[in-house]
Amino acid sequence: MNFDLSDDQRDAAAGAREFFTGSVPLSAARAALEGEGPPAPGRKALADIGFLGITVPESAGGAGGSVLDLAVVAEQAGAVLAGPSLVTAARAAVLLEGAPDLAAQLADGSAAIAVLDGPVTGSAPSLDAADATLFLGLDGGALVVGEGEVTPGRPMDATRGLASVRMTSRRVLAEDAGELWARARQVGAVVMAAEDLGAADRAVLVGVDYAQQRQAFGRVIGSYQAVKHMLVDAWVGVDQLRSLVWWAAWAADSSPAELPLAAAAAKAYAAEVAERATETVVQVHGGIGFTWEHDAHLYWRRAKVDRLLLGDAAEHLDAVARLAVAGALG
């Protein structure tokens, strides 16, 4: 089985890297954390370049692309801590399969949509809900859409736009939507793992670059085994996570039966890899890595928050074990 990317997907990744690095400085994540501005590049910029509609059908104004197409773009978004998250676009595109008018508004950015986790009468902190005006939720097994009363929190990572929401109006889009909701959550987990892959990869590269320049006792610190091994361990994790993300995205597109296992494995391992990589970059930088002035804590915050979104690592590892045993027993 070939998990390599196509030439078009590599070109899309290169284009996304150019867009995000040119439009999302790390100062934007810091400004959002200090309450001085929204996350960059923002919904309009993501809609204008077509990223919000990658997996929306062409008949609804999207690109009709695959989850793997979206994952390679999401990796580049994660590398610069971009917001809003492409996870929201991915989940909403699945949930709006039967509502092309709303899917079109998601793709062109005319509606600021968020997906609620937990009860619609008072949701758990939900991704990109802080500046959303239209919400999707699961209410007694039915998929509903409506407006809501938003209560922003003070999250560790402001780029995630977390807020609790109480829906104030509800329109049923689909009855008995439990399976659709679960699939959307699994696709969202895959895209979040892709964003974490990008953040972890960038953290390791920042650490390597510093280790090649910073000197101690007349030698660059990267020549010391304690530093070298720490960075190599983090890099190996990133490389293994990339394989998991590509497999999970492929499963979302081509093998629905594998998606629950693949998505859970990618989400659980992404939490571990992102945390290890971001803690590594802090430690490699020594004292300055722990300061507010250095950007390392911005990546560390993203890893800590993402670890708990869409289910924590324990939930997903439990799913991996349960599904693997069930598969082995036939």
- The pLDDT, as a whole number, for residue 4 is 83
Q: Which of 136, 122, 111 is nearest to 188 (CA)?
A: 136
Which two three-digit tokens encode residue 276?
Answer: 């290890």
**CATH number of the domain that 289 lies in?**
1.20.140.10
Relative to beta strand 113-115, strand 134-139 is parallel
Tens of pLDDT along the chain (330 residues)? 566 899 999 999 999 999 999 999 999 999 999 988 889 999 999 999 999 999 999 999 999 999 999 999 999 999 999 999 999 999 999 999 999 999 999 999 999 999 999 999 999 999 999 999 999 999 999 999 999 999 998 889 999 999 999 999 999 999 999 999 999 999 999 999 999 999 999 999 999 999 999 999 999 999 999 999 999 999 999 999 999 999 999 999 999 999 999 999 999 999 999 999 999 999 999 988 889 999 999 999 999 999 999 999 999 999 999 999 987 766
Which pLDDT value is given to residue 310?
96
Residue 51 lies in a domain: no
Exposure string for 83-95, b = 16+ CB within 10 A, e = fewer = bbbbbbbbbbbbb
Domains identified in the chain, total number? 1
- With respect to residue 85, please indicate whether it lies within any of the assigned structural domains: no
For 265, the token pair is 């494995």
284: tokens are 């490699």
Classify 129 as helix, strand or coil.
Answer: coil
Is residue 93 a part of any domain in this protein? no
The pLDDT assigned to 330 comes to 66
CB 125 within 8 A of CB 162: yes
Is residue 198 included in any domain, yes or no?
Answer: yes
pLDDT at residue 171, as a whole number: 97
Each residue of 34-43: b (16+ CB within 10 Å) or e? eeeebbbbbb
Coil, strand or helix: which one is 218? coil
**pLDDT for the residue numbered 290:** 87
Residue 3 within a domain: no
Query: CA-to-CA distance for 91 and 114, rounded, in angstroms?
Result: 9
- H helices of the chain, in order, are 7-23, 26-33, 43-48, 67-79, 86-95, 100-108, 178-211, 225-254, 259-284, 296-306, 313-328
318 occurs within a structural domain: yes
Structural domain of residue 306, as residue ranges?
180-329
For residue 77, tell me if it sits in a domain: no
| Residue 120 CA neighbour count, 13 Å, CB half | 23
Query: Is 52 inside a domain boundary?
Result: no
The amino acid at residue 258 is: E
Q: Give how far Cα 308 sits from Cα of 127, 189, 272, 326, Å.
A: 11, 11, 11, 26
Q: Give the pLDDT score at 155.
A: 80
